[in-house]
Amino acid sequence: MVIGQASTARSPYGQWWHDMAAVNDTIPVEVELALDVMPCQAMRRTYDSAAKPHPCSHFAEWGVFHSYDYQADGPPAVPGVVQPSAYVGKRPVVPEILSGCRKAPILAVGINPNLPGWSTGTRNSIHPYFDDYLQYAHYFRWRALDKLRIPAQRYRELKGTRDDDPFTTLPLTPEGSQIDVELAPVTMYAGYQSLLDGLAERMGWEHHKLMVGEDLAYANMVACGSARWTTRPVAGMPVMGEERGRAIVHECFHKRRYFLRQLLQSLPGVLLVFSQTTADAFITAMSGKFTRGDPAPREPLADLLQREIRLQFGHTDDGELLDARVIFSPHVSARPDEFEAARQRIIDQLVAEVTSGGLTFNPTTGHLARKRGACVFCRNDLYSIGPCDYRAELRPVATERGPSPLEDAPRADALAERAAQFKLLEAFMNTSPAPRIDLLDDAAASSPPLVLLGDVVTMNGPPLAQGAVYLRGGKIIAVQAADVVAPAGFDDAPRIATDGVIYPGLADLHNHLVYNVLPLWWPKQARMNRSQWLRDPEYKRLVSLPMEVLAKRQDLLRAVVRYVEVKLLLGGVTSGQGMVSKYRGGKNFVGLVRNFEQPTDLDLPAIRHKITDLSNRDLETFRTTLETGSQFFFHLAEGTDARARDQFALLDANGLLARNLVGVHSLGLKSEDLRKLADHDAAMVWSPFSNSILYGQTVAPDVLLESNIRFGLGSDWTPSGSRNLLQEMKIASLTAEAKGVALSAERLARAATVDAAHIAGWGERLGRLRTGYDADLLVLVKEMADPYENLIAATEREVRMVVIAGHPRHGDLELMRASRIAEHDLETITVGGRTKALFLRHPSSSLNYLRFSAAQDTLRKAMSDLPAARNAVVFDPLDDQDWLEVELEMQTPGPEPGEIDVLADVVLPTSVKLDPPTVIDDPAYWETLDQIAHLPAYLKGPNGLKRFY
């Protein structure tokens, strides 16, 4: 027969229909999986005939292994896999379906099958290679405790002195001849059995028959086998590669859904996930499906074992909840000591599931009772491999017949059960496009009444001593003296004495936020334009390549987003620029900090942004963007040479200076250029720290002020800029002081609040503390009499509270508690020796499960071993709607056409340090600054930036 077609051979034990395709729509899912998965062994070989090899052809690259088939009379209707067998030569290993009973109440999960026979000590292993689906189904029903091998002595006799590695195709003995086989015990299966025995002992089930294969089955997330998941080169092994690895996962796990179809047919009560690698993949893939325990990728197994974690499959039409306890465990054979140390805790989890009723023991069978759902894998209209011992327990998911046992109905309605299972599967995967919901900031509506007392810097007039700010529904309801009668509706509101100074939230007008996990980098000498440092080999090594690793994995990317947003909060920022992110389904990512480029409030206009230099062919596109009226932020004249200034000349010559143009950096402009921009009422974003690190200088403060141009501040990014806007304001103040320029603290405060809001086009909603404005606020400790100088001098330690859309998001612990936020929603942290708390829950966030500390731990681990992070097996969320994507806009550019790529040999470093979240808690920062030879002296040493901290 042709592999991939149904066999027409008969045996005393069963028969396959001749034309399976004709009845495929009504085949039960568990039988259909055998039909779908078995042909992959042939497809792996034929994929290479395509113009571009299919990614799954990788599994054929592992070579060929000794193989057998059952003899002509087929498998007997008895348990076990040691049958009279015929040797069929060296063949590729067949892909695997679930091993054991399809309705085993416990399902162990791995990533993909291993390859006995790959290593020298296992070359006598022998694998099945069936030409009959009946034999394939039989094997994977009973192969649950052992695999097979040729007896060692017989193997040595047959092999003789010749080589016998996976790339040697010579058979041991003529094909078709009988071959002796014996059971090869598998350490992992013995470990599974020890858990079942431990459960029975703890529960006092004296006459139990709990057994691997009956009460615990095993399935892989990817069906085909390999010795390692080689996304990166491993000596002596075929290289899968990262791109092909992802494509394999997409093909097998997402597109064909082999594992997912089996999962929703089995509906186990317990999922046993072995190894840290599998745990990371499983947690990421099942993101959004956990209803209890909130596991996080890269969370240590020991921590995951400390709590109950549940995964929900869905509900039946008659209302029954279908879910499973998920237990994470060290790998039995690869980490035997760790497994043994965790074994009793795993058994504790199993006992807890029995106690709660999720697992039940059937004394009649001696086994665990089967969970909801029908199964006809062992006996159906197509074949029979023996009677089902659990038929009396099975209750179909389909409710047309009700949940009565199958024995009450001689023949279950296969079509109805299949439809019910696929309905569960589609709901579980949530494959239908999510409806677009156009809301104003959906966190704002839920913000309760809140009153903050303190000195109030309104940015709408003189500061108000001993004032009160009333917040409700995301808006500022009133700003008035504290002793004036409160507006209606605030009788029961928390009334918090901040003992501080209340400001509008800070607005960071320029950043590249996703890079803010990376530490400070600087060129060996000051550069003259952006292209010079972007093409620096050390920049590629320490910035571009690490960022590629972090952005390609969903678990790491989510940790990045959580981490960098919290860094903004710690620095008092409530609105920021520099993160274009969305979900693959089209929805924008909704974060905690307002995003100038992707506002969730449709009444706040989105800015446009361009980094790369302009050429003549770009002029009309640039003009069209300006004509939309949106604020257009453009990296204008970034550098100190003529090439940088030429960008301004190009705009000027083509009539492209406009009120909505915002020049970012602009340090290459002369005084007359800035005046010309000011004449057009354009604006500028000043990033003095990043300018000084990359170019050794920044825009002269006297020229900036004399031009009368509107300007705001941007901290740029941590690879060459400030950690937050509080730091950037200090850099600006020090720069002006060193140049003898009277740049007032009030002017700098305006540049980070009201002026910044107007430059972004949000000035009618934000930047002031005013009735009707959005409730974005910053509260600082009162250290200085002048409130503006107080702002410039403040560090992260002095941040008492940050409020966005009426919700306190960060602040001193006592103030956050006084806001009446539920204690379980607060995450405590320490900043500058003071205990603070974060409130990160948001109604539209997909990161509610991810605490800041978990994100920090995940990133530290990944960045401490970047090659390992790059090579890790990665499964992404099931739902494409939940796939987060970001723009990496500051990567090293490729060579120009015809150029040799001189950076091609730059390799990923072993590690880079995770940039700390604050300056106040990083004493090593000052030594780093002192090492930058071209950094202006007024920023270094004890009298430089350090004097504020």
The Cα 472–Cα 476 span in angstroms is 7
SS3 annotation, 505-522: CEEECCECHHHCCCCCCC
b (16+ CB within 10 A) / e for 423-461: bbbeebbbeeeeeeeeebbbbbeebebbbbbbbbbbbbe
Other CB atoms within a 10 A radius of the CB of residue 511 amount to: 28
Cβ atoms of 714 and 511 closer than 8 Å: yes
Q: What is the tens place of the pLDDT at every residue in 900-933?
A: 787 889 999 999 999 999 999 999 999 999 999 9
CB 458 within 8 A of CB 479: yes
Q: In the predicted model, is pLDDT for residue 287 greater than 50?
A: yes
DSSP letter, residue 933: T
Q: State the CB neighbour count (10 A cutoff) for residue 218.
A: 26
Lowest mean pLDDT, pick from 438-452, 625-639, 899-913 = 438-452
Residue 405: pLDDT band by 50, 70, 90 thresholds? very low
Residue 11 pLDDT level (bands cut at 50, 70, 90): very low
State which of 80-94, 369-383, 717-731 shows the largest mean pLDDT: 717-731
The least confident of 240-249, 430-439, 467-476, 757-766 is: 430-439
d(CA 221, CA 226): 13
User: How many angstroms separate the CA atoms of 664 and 808, rounded?
Assistant: 31
The answer on pLDDT for 151 being more than 60 is yes
pLDDT at 2: 27
Question: Cα(39)–Cα(127) distance, rounded to whole angstroms?
Answer: 16
3-state helix, strand, coil in the chain (%, to 5): 35, 20, 45
In the predicted model, is pLDDT for residue 460 greater than 50?
Answer: yes
Confirm if 71 and 83 have CB atoms less than 8 A apart: yes
CB 388 within 8 A of CB 79: no
Which sign, positive or negative, has the C-alpha torsion 405, 410, 416, 422?
Answer: positive
Least confident of 11-20, 68-77, 694-703, 934-943: 11-20
CA nearest neighbour of 751 among 791, 701, 711: 711
CA angle 638, 643, 648 (to 5 degrees): 65
SS3 string, 225-254, reads CCCCCCCCCCCCCCCCCHHHHHHHHHHHHH
Residue range 506-948 forms a domain whose CATH class is alpha beta
Q: Where are the alpha helices (DSSP H) in 723-851?
A: 725-738, 745-751, 754-759, 787-793, 813-818
Specify whether the backbone of 175 is left (phi greater than 0), alpha (psi in -120 to 50) or beta: beta
Does the global pTM surpass 0.75? Answer: no
C-alpha 94/C-alpha 340 separation (Å) is 32
Task: Compute the average pLDDT of residues 802-826.
Answer: 96
Residue 876 tokens, joined: 């992404």
| Contact (CB, 8 A) for 54 and 47 | yes
DSSP element (H, E) containing 452: strand 450-456
* Whole-angstrom distance, CA of residue 885 vs CA of residue 551: 8
At 80, the pLDDT band (50, 70, 90 cuts) reads confident
For every residue of 750-765, DSSP letters joined together read HHTTHHHHHHTT-TTT
Q: How confident is the model at residue 362 (pLDDT cuts 50, 70, 90)?
A: very high
Give the DSSP H/E element, type plus range, for residue 569.
helix 554-570
Query: What letter does residue 711 receive in the DSSP assignment?
Result: E
* Confidence at residue 583, expressed as pLDDT on a 0 to 100 scale: 58
CA distance 41 to 3: 8
Which position has the token pair 């430059």? 759
Look at residue 432 and tell me whether its pLDDT is greater than 50. no
Q: What pLDDT is attached to residue 46?
A: 55
| Mean pLDDT of the region 86-95 | 93
318 by Cβ neighbours in 10 Å (0-12 / 13-18 / 19+) ranks as exposed
Closest CA to 509 of 721, 681, 775, 746: 721
- pLDDT attached to residue 902: 78
For residue 441, give Cα distances in angstroms to 195, 595, 804. Answer: 49, 11, 10
User: In the structure, what pLDDT confidence band is assigned to residue 51 with cuts at 50, 70 and 90?
Assistant: low
Mean pLDDT score, 488-507? 97
Residue 276 pLDDT more than 50? yes
Distances (CA, A) of 885 to 251, 254, 516, 717: 20, 18, 16, 19
Whole-number percent of the chain with pLDDT over 90: 69
- Low-confidence winner among 69-78, 246-255, 933-942 (lowest mean pLDDT): 69-78
What does the domain layout of the chain look like in residue ranges? 10-368, 506-948
pLDDT tens for each residue of 877-907: 665 546 778 888 888 888 777 777 878 899 9
pLDDT grade, residue 20 (50/70/90)? very low
Among 676, 629, 685, which Cα is nearest to 655's? 676
Give the contacts of 428 (CB within 8 A, at least 6 positions apart): 260, 264, 289, 313, 314, 878
Whether the Cβ atoms of residue 513 and residue 591 lie closer than 8 Å to each other: no
Supply the pLDDT for residue 427: 87
- CA 917/CA 517 separation, integer angstroms: 8
Residue 580: the pLDDT is: 72
Instruction: Say whether pLDDT at 231 is over 80.
Output: no
Tokens, residue 132: 């009959």
Please say if the pLDDT value at position 153 is more than 80: yes
Please say if the pLDDT value at position 438 is more than 50: no
Mean pLDDT of 141-152: 90
Q: Closest by alpha carbon to 787, among 464, 309, 518, 336?
A: 464
Q: Kindly indicate the confidence band of residue 582, based on its pLDDT and cuts at 50, 70 and 90.
A: low
- What's the rounded Cα separation, in Å, for the pair 483 and 494? 16
pLDDT band of 296, cuts 50, 70, 90: confident
- Say which range, 339-343, 467-471, 575-579, 727-731, has the weakest mean pLDDT: 575-579
**Cα first-last separation, the chain:** 78
Residue 484 corresponds to which amino acid?
Answer: V
Average pLDDT, the chain: 89
Question: 788 or 299, which is more confident?
Answer: 788
pLDDT(45) > 90? no
3-state secondary structure of 657: coil
Q: pLDDT grade, residue 23 (50/70/90)?
A: very low
Return the closest-CA partner of residue 729 out of 700, 688, 685.
Answer: 688
Rounded to a whole number, what is the largest CA-CA distance in the chain? 100
Q: Tokens for 659?
A: 């009120």
- Please return the burial class of 815, using the count of CB atoms within 10 Å of its CB with bins 0-12, 13-18 and 19+: buried
> What sign results for the dihedral spanned by CA atoms 472, 475, 478, 481?
positive
Q: What is the mean pLDDT of residues 723-746?
A: 98
The yes-or-no verdict on residue 752 having pLDDT over 90 is: yes
